Amino acid sequence: MFAALSPFKKKKEEPKEETTEKKPPPHIVSFKVGLPDMTMDAFDDEMQASFKADVATKLKVEPDDVDIEASAGSVNVDVKVSVADAEAASAVAASAEASKSDLVNPDTFGPCEVSGVEVVAPPPLVHDILTPGDMSRLKTFFDDEEVVKNDEGAIEKKEFVKLIKKIMKADGEKAPPEKDLTAAFVQADEDGGGSVDMAEFVSLYAKVKKGE
């Protein structure tokens, strides 16, 4: 998680490694497909794979970007298509809307009815890099009742060091030397108040994740 706190080591003699560009969270195009002539018994794994392939072909996306979940009775399929950005999402949504009755092969699945097409934008990234999953995990660690906080809800150096070590141990990483942890605390304590609150802790993690 903290990747040996590399920003605090400052090994300038070592060339900076090239980092691959982080992909933003996908936009999701979701809709329902009714297959009134299909039963759940007939809609087996092979048929579901064929359904996904038909949807992917029609919407010009990869089959791996199509997730489906079928409900019992006459088959109703919840479809979610992951795409890279808002422009692509709009194009896929328009194609789904235009394919009301021929989204999938009628010779295989019978008639189909597409409804409820909508685009779900991803939540914004905190500090342009932290996902909701990152934020939830950081909050879980920081809010743990074993983490001793002062009256302002912040942690002082001793607790900061213990918390970093705990997180890195959970990630299977070896904690860096104390001097690096001290340097990390100084950098995290943005207001120089002698403690680190949740916002400062999040800011530190964002910098580490960016490799700053």
Which is it for strands 113-120 and 74-83: parallel, antiparallel or unpaired?
A: unpaired
Reduced to 3 states (helix: H, G, I; strand: E, B; else coil), residue 13 is coil
Q: What is the pLDDT of residue 25?
A: 67
The kind and range of the H/E element at 160 are helix 157-170
Reduced to 3 states (helix: H, G, I; strand: E, B; else coil), residue 93 is helix
- Write out the E strands in 11-159: 27-39, 66-71, 74-83, 113-120
What's the whole-number mean pLDDT along residues 136-140?
93
Q: What pTM value is reported for the model?
A: 0.57
**Helices and strands (H and E) in the chain: how many:** 7, 4
Residue 5 above 60 pLDDT? Answer: no
Reduced to 3 states (helix: H, G, I; strand: E, B; else coil), residue 131 is coil
Residues 135/126, Cβ–Cβ less than 8 Å? yes
